[in-house]
Structure 1
């Protein structure tokens, strides 16, 4: 993309009056993630800050894994090199706690159950892959290969993953595991092992066989498959999109565009998405999942870049502006300042009264992708 095109891209996104607040919000989010790491005491990132309990949850291997590339990107974006060091500490911690079979444990470190989970393992691939690219340290390559091999071995012949579901999710068969497939596609690129991309393609192909004509995906929620969260809808769509890009799969790309446009139709005038949608892509709750807003903004921006869809650019702009309007950058409570809440209102049905680290991660990704279309979180 030429410099002139990049400027044109930026000019048609966030209004200029919003740009200073966006930069302040991005820095505040990074600082919040840094505090969440420090509060864990181990190198990982606390899962969330609970406002009611005034308490930081335990470190979360799954989300720490995909926060790693976000902090590498932020360090480059901002010039704050200490966040590169933070990302490396996260990657070291992930390597230290990797299970002997190569998998990554479900849940947070304070959970009593210690079992490997497909989705959680897939998300840490992003962190090990980026850490190896950045440092060329063999330990990250070794962890990446062991985890990727474990995922390939656990995959069923039809491309689905039915074993090793998280015990903390309500369903064992999940189409949002396409985001695990996305992790394998990244591993394939970094390691150069085509088996990983083939496994990723098989999972996406399986997910597409489940899809309904309007782009709806069944088995796509942590709790309620009839009214899935925009959070898990976005997980599934991002996985299908990125694996299809990596594989040059036009069918998967077409599906991602169709489904992303369907989600955009549910967007409210204020930019928020309803937190849950039904199989006709209609709102089924009044509250918004702030994480889902950020994730869909990333998807809309990616598609706008890839296929040139101005309406999706506008949808991303509205979602980013809505999330910016929720940010508290001056609160004396450091668990709130710079954090991104789970639901709006705060007592909504997702991560009620909590500020999850993945909401912060995805909104940081959206803000950076807005500034630099070449950045992928």
Structure 2
């Protein structure tokens, strides 16, 4: 009975807000390319992220959810929003987020899981906040940020399985290929401290991941839940983390991992060539083991993440990856087409829906903070392309 009442309330809230109506109507129309500049989209995304910070007492709101309004802070994504704010000279805001993450860090050193301030730690979330703390340490040289990162890294080492994966303090106690984004932060702590145990732990995870390699590329355990088809959000998490691990490890691992990630991305681009075009084309949200689409909706944060990955690979080998740059730009255009730049409601303006259409299966009717974050990152990286 309680769940039915909650569902009734949420659906009434979705339909009762006038500023929602235009969004629902927009999704019934054919998607058109944005007429706004990259700079306008970037400014709007950063403005929305700042608003998401201001609506909560600490951290960054998980986002604006049509059925619930502004959500409580999300420690995980607050952590990796920090480098984005630093990149656009919002240093005071970034420092405030890093301080808040220290305040709410669990006594064990782990980072709280889920939205809000829960009492349980989660491995992945811990890695993402380490990325924020290490970015702040590099920017400010303040030891408190490195100390927090070291405490978190030590907790990750304490609970790592002997074969390198993590299964304790993970969702459904299952391993994840996208824990490459946990190995990467450990390598950042190694770089800051020189402590070899962090590098060794990252390398153990990569050895476990090697065994998970699939025949057509990609890895087992890339999905959010066991048995699901992975979505572009977690595929990009996995491959971006692997690339960053390679860059941090240096030769010979560096070249091996860059080649591996490039191979997977090449297969994805080839298989999805028809969908890697300007709107109304859209990349499917879920891709199977052969890189074929398995969804009718698109995951806009995943599109932005893949654009970042494509641009990073292009920068490493420009002559061989012109198609990567093109694919990245079309993915950015798809995300820009979904971002709200004509709706004057302050909860919506600058936000990026999780799904296109907004009622798609991935976090439906929501503007999660990671959508705006990854679009901002992609637009900043796009600036490095030749004019």
Task: With the length of structure 2 as denominator, give the TM-score of the two structures.
Answer: 0.85
Map of 1:134 onto structure 2: 139
Structure 2: gaps (5+ residues): 1-32
Q: Equivalents in 1 of 2:347, 2:247: separation in Å? A: 37
Counterpart pick for 2:291 among 255, 274, 281: 281
Secondary structure (helix, strand or coil) at the match of 1:297 reads: helix
- Structure 1 residue 278: Cα displacement: 1.1
- Structure 1 residue 47: Cα displacement: 0.4
Map of 1:182 onto structure 2: 184
Q: Equivalents in 1 of 2:173, 2:224: separation in Å? A: 7
Map of 2:26 onto structure 1: none
1:266 maps onto 2:262 in alignment: no
Map of 1:252 onto structure 2: 257
Map of 1:331 onto structure 2: 343
Q: Is the 8 A contact 2:34 2:337 kept in 1?
A: no
- Structure 1 residue 333: Cα displacement: 1.6
Coordinate RMSD, CA, aligned: 1.8
Secondary structure (helix, strand or coil) at the match of 1:222 reads: coil
Task: With the length of structure 1 as denominator, give the TM-score of the two structures.
Answer: 0.87
- Structure 1 residue 233: Cα displacement: 0.5
Counterpart pick for 2:315 among 288, 291, 305: 305
1:1-377 residue pairs with structure 2 within 5 A?
21-42=37-58, 44-53=59-68, 55-75=69-89, 83-109=90-116, 113-166=118-171, 170=172, 172-223=174-225, 225-248=227-250, 249=253, 250-264=255-269, 265-267=271-273, 268=275, 269-270=277-278, 272-308=282-318, 309-372=321-384
Larger Rg: 2
CA-to-partner distance for each residue in 1:161-206, whole Å, 9 max, x for gaps? 111113xxx5621111111111112222223323222222221221
Q: Equivalents in 2 of 1:193, 1:366: separation in Å? A: 32
Secondary structure (helix, strand or coil) at the match of 1:49 reads: strand
Aligned length: 343
- Structure 1 residue 91: Cα displacement: 0.2
Q: Equivalents in 1 of 2:202, 2:282: separation in Å? A: 31
Structure 1: gaps (5+ residues): 1-16, 76-82
Q: Equivalents in 1 of 2:109, 2:164: separation in Å? A: 20
- Structure 1 residue 123: Cα displacement: 0.4
